[in-house]
Amino acid sequence: MPDRLNFLLALAALALLLPQGAAAQERVVPPSAEALRMSYAPIVKRVVPAVVTVSAEKTTQNRNPLMEDPFFRRFFGPQFGAPREQKSLGSGVIVDPLGLVVTNNHVIDGADQVKITLADKREFPVEVVLKDARTDLAVLRVKDGAERFPVLDFGNSDGLEVGDVVLAVGNPFGVGQTVTHGIVSAVARTQIGITDYQFFIQTDAAINPGNSGGALVDMAGRLVGINTAIFSRSGGSQGVGFAIPVNMVRVVVASAKGGGSAVKRPWLGANLQTVTPELAKEFDLKRPGGVVVTGVTEKSPAARAGLKPGDVIIAVGDQAVDDPNAFNYRFTTHALGGQVSLGVVRGGRESKVAVALETAPEAPRDEIVIQARSPFHGAKVANLSPALAEEMRLASSAEGVVVLDVADGTLAQQFGFQRGDVVLSVNNAKVSRTRDLEKIAEAGARVWRVVIQRGGQQISAVFGG
């Protein structure tokens, strides 16, 4: 009788762990030793065919001038100075039967050729459809459109709880497809410093180099995250891994399926700051939490919704937010169109504010590289717009000309200009467009008085001609 009872308890536990359609899973503690001996094999068999190895190749030129000398090439052989190929391995997840694959941007960034290898060893060349450095996600498409591929269904990362069992699938160290298991160690990690959108699932499932872009799945075999990074002092897994929540992955994949080459996200049009314990007392909040509005851009969704400096946003929809990173994730994972309700505290009173979900307005960027001899020589600049400011994580109200890049060895680099610097004026002349800066640079000067904005601070500097 006891054996029969244990057997029935194990069957009941197994039934609870299997998918229950659209209904939420009930979380249970294994009732017996027999239940603990249950296998993850049925889940793995469903998941593994949709997880691939991503191979990226990049050809690099060796710039050593000796390599151009025929003597050295003759002495060391024809391979001396030849372009070198660098190869990197990562993982990816098939999310569409026609061969759409999601992986990490850092796996394929700068690659000349990319291919995927399925669990059954078949290889397919792919093209990069979309790259999004802000989330460290990229979407690939198999060039051969005749094949039908197995896919992983999207789960709901907002439904994860600390302690839930998850599996990580990928190709660590290039040894071949590997499955590890663990639990969700934390959710909503926002201070990791990996991507612009700081909101990660933390897990103790073993994640190692090569797992990047692979799948984190729940006990129903649904994709809940894309494994992205580890915290390690040795380079190997130490039980602290991070995955991008699948609800963010949905946004990027939807943009790729819609034919876009860039991800379109909702734009608030307000500057936000974390609520500290001191600010919580000032705003009469029960605890430090939420984000305080420090500035609102004219005609933005925030302005039209009536948000004002000093308002404290404590929730997006029904999800609480504790800092700007959490707000950005919750807000930008809403689909464009329609509205979202924000929980706002103003004057100690809570209310709801409806904000339109629309993209930031774009303007002609007119990207140019300043060639004239001046402190800006070698700087690539563009006209700022709300869309570009959002992309570069600048204040939504920023205006002027922004530095996109600074070439090595140029005067702009020597004078210390950086990506993200906003040029406001030169020699007391306001700089509103890139052509303004180009004209000023070409005019020349013995002394250059430059005013820029960097990191929210206005900086004045004087350079010799």
Residues of the chain with pLDDT under 50: 1-23, 71-72, 74-76
pLDDT > 90: what percent of the chain? 57
Q: Which CATH superfamily is domain 368-464 in?
A: PDZ domain (2.30.42.10)
pTM: 0.78
Q: Which of 136, 218, 323, 436 is catalytic?
A: 136
Residues of the chain with CATH 2.40.10.10: 48-142, 157-257
- Concerning whether 106 is annotated as a catalytic residue, the answer is yes
Fold topology of 270-356: Pdz3 Domain (2.30.42)
Radius of gyration of the chain, Cα coordinates, nearest whole angstrom: 26
- Concerning whether 212 is annotated as a catalytic residue, the answer is yes
Residue 406: the pLDDT is 95
Residue 282: the pLDDT is 82
Q: Which of 55, 157, 185, 212 is catalytic?
A: 212
Q: Which CATH superfamily is domain 157-257 in?
A: Trypsin-like serine proteases (2.40.10.10)
Residues of the chain with CATH 2.30.42.10: 270-356, 368-464
Residue 65: the pLDDT is 53
Q: Which of 106, 204, 237, 334 is catalytic?
A: 106
Residue 37: the pLDDT is 64
CATH assignment of 48-142, among 3.40.50.300, 2.130.10.10, 2.40.10.10, 3.30.930.10: 2.40.10.10
- Concerning whether 374 is annotated as a catalytic residue, the answer is no
Residue 17: the pLDDT is 47
Residue 283: the pLDDT is 79
